[in-house]
């Protein structure tokens, strides 16, 4: 029968077919959120007809069409829950007074006291709002990112209801290469607006089961923290054990990021697996079937205490299915189980495939499960030479060699599978990720062993501080490993297109499944070629000029030469521009800016300078004139530069301004010695940017001082 293999696949892996049906129905909506329901049904028709032909009518109807219809219903529900959309302007700020319920699992409610109480962006659900005090309250539910005032008289916690005054602003997205995909991050969470509060007043305190669970989490962290002598250990413990990263400073976060071990600070299958592996040791005295059911409850509670994010939910679903089948001495296909977890998440939130955490988590686990036969072959090959030896090999030595070889190869496979996603989203290559992870793993497991001990015996006086005292050196070792490998070398490079990442993953899958040595060698060479091609990509990019304008502020100009790894930056008007420009430079392989030049010391020139200095190394800061005593923002920038040992001077080696009111001319040097930039203030408002090369006009650009930000990337 012609379609028999495909029908057997649909029978053996029904969840994979269902996931394919969901993606077929939601792909157009993922690419274009404004798609109409009619367009969605029209776009899914070819896929449905193909599935009908390949799998047969019964299999296609139950396993492909039904999930497609369910996800269409979920998309419809997501599209109709836009209460705030009809009342707020799409651009600019809208002042308002709101009542909102805090729904962010990272909120600690003031416990522990040494942890920053809330992340910078808090997920909150608006229940009602009004424009002014004289206005009537409008019942209009919707979710927002909430920014609280810096100094509050009370510690907000999960489930608290607050009354706040401030302003709504639609989430801005600067489509810069390498920049954090804030728009996608917000869309996955069903959020389109950010509310910046200037005043906050508590209305009622949360009293749900989740709030009590999070309060108990704070009690545990407070107890552990009493036994830790180092502040760094407390910060890392909250992120490692519960995924609360608001206490992690920028330097520590960069160390984990550059060493390729940032996932250690985000609760995922690694953490759930470590928690389970320790807990099952304490339950071994129970009967076989009972202990597999008993272990489900504490693991579920632990996953819930971390916020039950996508990776933790995926790990718990796979773990729960495995435990139930294990208790009844049944077996299932692990690949089908991971597809089942993805199926549940995608039906609950159709936008979750856009989330980078979802992609990392499921892709790494998929390739690890897919490579089971390959890893088994590696283990057998490592011990084959002693198989027919006269004395043989001791079981302990055989286990050690097999475990070590499988750990190294499995870590390498997980890293290669995540490499494609990392290069597509971030352009970060961490060559020491595998050894760093292998060194961290035993210390992370010991931390969880002590953590479980403390959770089980928290009622014993002094047990939590004692466990914190035991964890303190282990956490310092984790931080030290991340710093060692983070400073050993990392490479930022240009982001790869989607087809490049897909080709890399296809070749990796072929490499893990082929049996021929010839094809194994061919796939290995092809993978290495793609890897080095992605790393070397910026060296072939021409010099560029990046222009960030709008927002009512002076434009930010970034001259970069990827081939020579040099850059010059003019103005840093705000935090968003600083963050976007730093990410853009990293994708060009530039980790140090030659000169940071400011037209003046006003807020519109240098408000984002401190943020930019924290994300990029700068050699020289250049000012046109000495700053006045009341120039607050430029003095803050110079203070931050002095802390980093940056030389500041009035004069420039490569950049010379010429002021001729009402214009400013920049004569560039180095790789741009023939390039001149002319900024001219226009009488009707806005600026005119002219780019000249060897005296010949190259580009002319109008830069309006509008509320909407714009970018332009010009070749030089």
Return the H-helix or E-strand segment holding 95: strand 93-102
* Cα distance between residue 272 and residue 294, in whole Å: 15
Residues 611 and 649 occupy one common structural domain? yes
* Cα distance between residue 533 and residue 423, in whole Å: 11
In the chain, the percentage of residues whose pLDDT exceeds 90 is 3
Give tens-digit pLDDT for 32-90.
777 776 777 777 888 888 888 887 777 778 888 888 888 888 887 776 556 566 666 55
Whether residue 352 lies inside any domain: the answer is no
Domain range for 529 is: 372-429+496-536
Nearest to 460 by CA among 193, 223, 270: 223
Indicate the residue among 509, 536, 563 that finishes a domain. Answer: 536
Residues 640 and 567 occupy one common structural domain? yes
Whether residue 244 lies inside any domain: the answer is no
Q: Give the pLDDT confidence score for residue 471 in this predicted structure.
A: 92
Indicate the residue among 517, 536, 555 that finishes a domain. Answer: 536
Whether residue 480 lies inside any domain: the answer is no
* Cα distance between residue 511 and residue 503, in whole Å: 12
Q: Per-10-residue mean pLDDT for the chain, 716 residues long?
A: 67 83 84 74 81 79 83 76 61 79 85 78 86 81 84 85 87 74 80 86 88 90 89 86 82 84 78 80 81 86 82 79 78 81 84 84 85 81 63 68 80 86 80 87 87 87 91 91 84 82 89 85 88 81 86 85 86 85 85 84 82 85 75 80 73 49 70 82 80 85 78 85
Residues 518 and 545 occupy one common structural domain? no
CATH number of domain containing 133: 2.40.50
**Residue 263 carries which DSSP code?**
G
> Interhelix angle for 517-536 vs 498-513, to 10°?
150
In angstroms, how far is the first alpha carbon of the chain from the final one? 61
Q: Are 458 and 223 in contact (CB under 8 A)?
A: yes
- 137's torsion region: left (phi>0), alpha (psi -120 to 50) or beta? beta
Residues 70 and 128 occupy one common structural domain? no
Whether residue 22 lies inside any domain: the answer is yes
* Cα distance between residue 233 and residue 477, in whole Å: 10
Residues 68 and 201 occupy one common structural domain? no
Residues 44 and 126 occupy one common structural domain? no
Q: Give the pLDDT confidence score for residue 67 in this predicted structure.
A: 85
Alpha helix (H) residue ranges in 356-497: 356-370, 372-383, 395-425, 433-456, 463-486
Residues 73 and 178 occupy one common structural domain? no
Estimate to the nearest angstrom the gap between the alpha carbon of 439 and the chain centroid: 23
Residues 109 and 59 occupy one common structural domain? no
Neighbours of 149 (CB within 10 A): 14
Whether residue 565 lies inside any domain: the answer is yes
Q: Give the pLDDT confidence score for residue 474 in this predicted structure.
A: 92
pTM of the model: 0.83
Residues 64 and 113 occupy one common structural domain? no
Q: Are 122 and 104 in contact (CB under 8 A)?
A: yes
Task: Give the count of domains, the chain.
Answer: 4
Q: Give the pLDDT confidence score for residue 1 in this predicted structure.
A: 44
Distances, alpha carbon 41 to alpha carbons 18, 37, 46, 69, 73, in Å: 17, 6, 10, 9, 11
Strands (E), 538-652: 544-550, 553-561, 566-570, 592-597, 617-622, 647-649
Residues 581 and 610 occupy one common structural domain? yes
Residues 398 and 532 occupy one common structural domain? yes
Whether residue 220 lies inside any domain: the answer is no
Residues 510 and 546 occupy one common structural domain? no
Whether residue 405 lies inside any domain: the answer is yes
Enter the tokens of residue 453: 């001990």
Indicate the residue among 207, 228, 254 that finishes a domain. Answer: 207
Whether residue 247 lies inside any domain: the answer is no
């Amino acid at each position: 029968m012609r379609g028999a293999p495909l029908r057997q696949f649909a029978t053996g892996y029904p969840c994979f077919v269902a996931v394919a049906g969901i993606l077929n129905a939601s792909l157009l909506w993922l690419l274009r959120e404004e798609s109409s329901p009619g367009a969605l049904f029209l776009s899914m028709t070819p896929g449905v007809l193909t599935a009908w032909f390949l799998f047969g009518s019964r299999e296609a109807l139950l396993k492909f069409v039904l999930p497609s219809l369910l996800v269409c219903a979920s998309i419809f529900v997501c599209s109709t829950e836009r209460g705030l959309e009809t009342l707020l302007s799409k651009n600019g700020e809208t002042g308002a007074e709101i009542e909102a319920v805090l729904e962010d699992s990272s909120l600690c409610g003031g416990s522990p006291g040494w942890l920053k109480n809330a992340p910078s962006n808090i997920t909150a659900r608006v229940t009602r709002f009004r424009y002014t005090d004289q206005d009537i309250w409008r019942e209009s539910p919707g979710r927002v990112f909430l920014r609280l005032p810096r100094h509050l008289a009370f510690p907000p916690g999960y489930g608290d209801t607050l009354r706040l005054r401030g302003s709504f602003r639609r989430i801005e997205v600067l489509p810069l290469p390498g920049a954090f995909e804030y728009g996608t991050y917000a869309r996955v969470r069903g959020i389109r607006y950010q509310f910046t509060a200037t005043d906050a007043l508590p209305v009622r305190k949360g009293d749900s089961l989740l709030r009590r669970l999070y309060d108990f989490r704070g009690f545990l962290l407070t107890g552990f923290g009493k036994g830790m002598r180092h502040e760094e250990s407390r910060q890392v413990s909250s992120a490692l054990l519960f995924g609360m990263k608001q206490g992690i400073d920028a330097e520590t976060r960069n160390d984990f990021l550059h060493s390729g071990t940032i996932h250690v600070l985000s609760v995922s299958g690694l953490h759930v697996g470590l928690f389970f592996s320790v807990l099952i040791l304490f339950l071994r005295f129970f009967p076989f079937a009972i202990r597999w059911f008993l272990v489900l409850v504490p693991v579920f509670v632990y996953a819930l205490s971390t916020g039950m994010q996508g990776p933790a939910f995926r790990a718990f679903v796979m773990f729960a299915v495995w435990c139930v089948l294990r208790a009844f001495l049944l077996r299932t296909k692990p690949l089908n189980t991971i597809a089942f977890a993805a199926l549940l998440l995608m039906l609950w939130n159709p936008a979750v495939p856009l989330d980078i955490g979802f992609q990392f988590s499921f892709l790494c686990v998929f390739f690890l499960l897919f490579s089971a036969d390959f890893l088994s072959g590696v283990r057998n090959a490592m011990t084959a030479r002693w198989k027919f030896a006269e004395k043989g090999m001791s079981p302990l030595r055989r286990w050690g060699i097999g475990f070590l070889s499988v750990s190294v190869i499995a870590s390498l496979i997980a890293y290669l599978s995540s490499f494609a996603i990392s290069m597509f989203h971030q352009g970060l290559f961490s060559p020491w990720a595998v050894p760093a992870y292998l060194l961290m793993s035993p210390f992370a497991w010991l931390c969880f062993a002590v953590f479980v001990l403390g959770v089980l015996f928290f009622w014993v006086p002094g047990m939590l501080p004692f466990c914190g005292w035991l964890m303190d050196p282990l956490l310092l070792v984790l931080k030290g490993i991340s710093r060692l490998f983070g400073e050993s070398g990392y490479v930022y490079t240009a982001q790869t297109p989607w087809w490049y990442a897909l080709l890399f993953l296809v070749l990796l899958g072929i490499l893990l499944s082929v049996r021929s040595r010839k094809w194994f060698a061919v796939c290995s060479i092809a993978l290495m070629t793609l890897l080095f091609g992605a790393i070397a990509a910026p060296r072939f990019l021409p010099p560029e000029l990046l222009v960030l304008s709008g927002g009512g502020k002076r434009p930010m100009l970034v001259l970069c030469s990827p081939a020579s790894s040099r850059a010059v930056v003019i103005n840093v008007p705000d935090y968003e521009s600083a963050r976007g420009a730093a990410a853009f430079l990293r994708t060009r392989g530039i980790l140090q800016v030659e000169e940071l030049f400011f037209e003046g010391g006003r807020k519109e020139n240098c408000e984002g300078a401190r943020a930019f200095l924290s994300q990029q190394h700068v050699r020289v800061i250049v000012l046109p004139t000495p700053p006045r005593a009341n120039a607050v923002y430029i003095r803050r920038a110079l203070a931050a530069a002095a802390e980093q040992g940056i030389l500041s001077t009035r004069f420039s080696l490569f950049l010379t301004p010429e002021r001729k009111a009402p214009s400013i001319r920049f004569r560039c040097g180095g790789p741009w010695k023939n390039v001149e930039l002319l900024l001219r203030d226009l009488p009707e408002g806005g600026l005119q940017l002219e780019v000249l090369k060897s005296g010949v006009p190259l580009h002319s650009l109008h830069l309006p001082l509008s509320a909407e930000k714009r970018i332009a990337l010009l070749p030089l």
